[in-house]
Structure 1
């Protein structure tokens, strides 16, 4: 169980609040769709929950253990358990899919591995196993710059799993993808929740959140104004979060 209490984030010299005292909780195996109007704070919330940005205030606990208290962005131990998937995955275009998986994200991998690229044989096999599971084994030695958008997102997901992520925050992971690629990416995330007990929170278009997610949050002006089981939203619910 992950529990958030009074999450606040201020910018511009701590004078302007972007997130306003958010309190919520979520658990292992959930896939939560984050919806709402542009500029409502979705990307910021995801980065805070994935321990990529510091909090101005609030508490964050996992299974009863506080990992943030009163601000900050948590310890390296917990940051390594979180993955943040950007709209355009931050892969090195000149390195192969395999090497991108092995090197990992900042916050997930030690600086020694990131500088030297040295890996153990067990890590190598683990990376190849994950690539195979997601239909990317034939792309293992292809440079990331030559992969399609959907393939790059799945490489980023493999990277998260290889480096031990239990929680994945995905910021519009299917934007710009064709329908089939989007379906592959969201199907992959859905499978991780159902079969591996991972927790995913993804900023998505409302129709995809309704289709793939077990729960939907509606974020407006830095506040969660809607929190319902994943289903088709009513017209009044869409109106409450400025989507009509």
Structure 2
């Protein structure tokens, strides 16, 4: 279980609180939908939880392990367990889906080895296994530039898994996708939580969050307004959106 205690994020020389007073427990297998108005801090929340942005204050623990103590970006040894996927995943457009999965976020030496094609057989098989699970086996040797938006999202998910992620933060993964592609991406994420006990936190439109997520967080002006599980939002809760 991940525990967040008094997470705070401020920016600027005249500090503005972007996130303030977050106290939550995050369980294995949770699929959390984050909803809130534009500018409420959704993307910053994901980046902080995925150890991409520094915390101004607060504590972050995984079981008995301390990841962040009093602020900062988190201990380096934990970072491979946390993935952050942007709206438009950054892939190498002239490399195949398979090579994008293999290159991923490896260490500098391993990354160079993979970029020039020196790949261990177990790396290769692991990447192919993930692509197959997400219906991308026929796209393994297709250049990323020729993949659809939904396919790029799934390649990015495969890349995160191959490189050890157990926690995946996804920022608006369905923006710009048709309904079929959006549902495919969200089904993939939901299956990760159900079958592999991964933890997924995604910024989503409310209708998708209510349909696919086991838990909903409402964020307003940097604060957690509500945290609900197993039901749709009430009219009172929706007033913050």
Please report the TM-score for the alignment, with normalisation by the length of structure 1: 0.95
Residue range with higher mean Cα deviation, 11-20 or 23-32 = 11-20
Question: For residues 73-123 of structure 1, what are the alpha-carbon distances to aligned partners after superposition, in whole Å with 9 as ceiling and x for unaligned?
Answer: 112221100111110001111111001100113xxx201122332432101
**Does structure 2 retain, via aligned residues, the 8 Å contact 1:211–1:231?**
no
Aligned counterpart, 2:135: 135
The 3 A distance-change label for structure 1 pair 131 and 14 is farther
Q: CA deviation at 1:34?
A: 0.3
Matches within 5 A, 1:218-233: 218-233=218-233
Q: CA deviation at 1:132?
A: 0.9
Match of 2:108 among 111, 119, 124: 111
How many corresponding residue pairs? 238
| 1:20 equivalent in alignment to 2:28 | no
Q: Secondary structure of the equivalent of 2:38?
A: coil
| 1:64 equivalent in alignment to 2:64 | yes
Residue range with higher mean Cα deviation, 56-65 or 5-14 = 5-14
Q: CA deviation at 1:14?
A: 6.1
Q: CA deviation at 1:231?
A: 2.3
Listed as ranges, the gaps of 5+ residues in structure 1 are: none
Q: Secondary structure of the equivalent of 1:217?
A: strand
Q: CA deviation at 1:189?
A: 0.3
Question: For residues 158-210 of structure 1, what are the alpha-carbon distances to aligned partners after superposition, in whole Å with 9 as ceiling and x for unaligned?
Answer: 11111111000010011110000000000000000001000000000011110
Aligned counterpart, 2:85: 85
Matches within 5 A, 1:130-209: 130-209=130-209
* Aligned mates of 2:113, 2:94 — CA distance in 1: 16
Residue range with higher mean Cα deviation, 225-234 or 81-90 = 225-234
Aligned counterpart, 1:237: 237
Question: For residues 36-57 of structure 1, what are the alpha-carbon distances to aligned partners after superposition, in whole Å with 9 as ceiling and x for unaligned?
Answer: 0010000000000000111111
* Aligned mates of 1:157, 1:191 — CA distance in 2: 12
CA RMSD in angstroms comes to: 1.0
Q: CA deviation at 1:223?
A: 0.4
Q: Secondary structure of the equivalent of 2:28?
A: coil
